[in-house]
Amino acid sequence: MHLYRDKIFPMMMKKNIGKKSILELRKKILSDAKGEILEIGIGEGTNLTLYPEHVDQITAVDNYIRKIDSSNINVNLIFASADFLPFDDNSFDTVVSTFVLCSVENLRKVLAEIYRVLKPGGQFVFLEHGKAKDKLTSMIQNMFNPFYNIFAYGCNINRQYKYEMVQCGFQLLKFECEKADIYPRVLTGYVYTGKVNKPEKMEKFDE
């Protein structure tokens, strides 16, 4: 067993993104979850007790399966990478991601997969940390990203999600940035919460 990778790092992360203020943010985005739900990168299942009461079943994927406590919700847990989701097109009403997009290798591919598996009109709800809006902080984030990436197993602190989501075809419904209690705050304290959807119908253009 690798002490830092298997014990110390997960413990630090759990403390950081499992604290009360962050649980509140999780709850806020999860309140929109409905229908057939897919959670990507479920980890240890921190969100499971935070879904609205009407949710009693979800599908989840992770590319590193850990033990999850799923006593309140029935979880169909599948070992898979979010950039090759093993589901048909138009399968889900809601896709959920919390603190996953920062660490996927190919953000554009993962967003395209989320878009593909969502039903038309389906929604993608997320809570992610990303690039700060002010120039100085984002410069610091850019500078530290290569080091942070090694220390935190592929986590990027300077990702920009809005542009990528729009490029994939998502419609922005809610997109908020706020400062959160995630340490080191200057690097990882800028969190993005929101909801985007896959449009009901593609626009038709006359040739």
- List residues binding ligand SAM (CB under 6 A): 13, 17, 40-43, 46, 61-64, 81-83, 98-100, 103-104
Smallest distance, Å, CB 204 to ligand SAM? 34
Whose Cβ is closer to ligand SAM: residue 40's or residue 58's?
A: 40
Q: If you write DSSP's letter for every residue of the chain in order, what string do you get?
A: --HIIIIIHHHHHHHHHTSHHHHHHHHHHHTT--SSEEEES-TTTTTGGGS-TT--EEEEEESS------SSSEEEEEE--TTS--S-TT-EEEEEEES-TTT-S-HHHHHHHHHHHEEEEEEEEEEEE---SSHHHHHHHHHHHHHHHHHTTT--S---HHHHHHHTTPEEEEEEEEE---SSHHHH-EEEEEEEE--SSPPP---
- In the complex, minimum distance from the CB of residue 185 to ligand SAM, in angstroms, rounded to a whole number: 17
Region of residue 142 (left: phi > 0; alpha: psi -120 to 50; beta: else):
alpha
Q: How far is the CB of 2 from ligand SAM (least distance, A)?
A: 15
Closest distance to ligand SAM from the beta carbon of 70 (Å):
13
With respect to ligand SAM, which residue has the nearer C-beta, 98 or 193? Answer: 98
Contact call for residues 39 and 78 (beta carbons, < 8 A)? no
User: How near is the Cβ of 26 to ligand SAM at its closest, in Å?
Assistant: 7
For ligand SAM, which is the closer residue by CB, 36 or 44?
Answer: 44
Give the residue with the Cβ less far from ligand SAM, 121 or 164: 164
Least Å from the CB of residue 152 to ligand SAM: 8
Note whether 30 and 195 are within 8 A (CB): no
CB nearer to ligand SAM: give 147 or 200: 147
Q: Which is nearer to ligand SAM, 134 or 147 (CB)?
A: 147
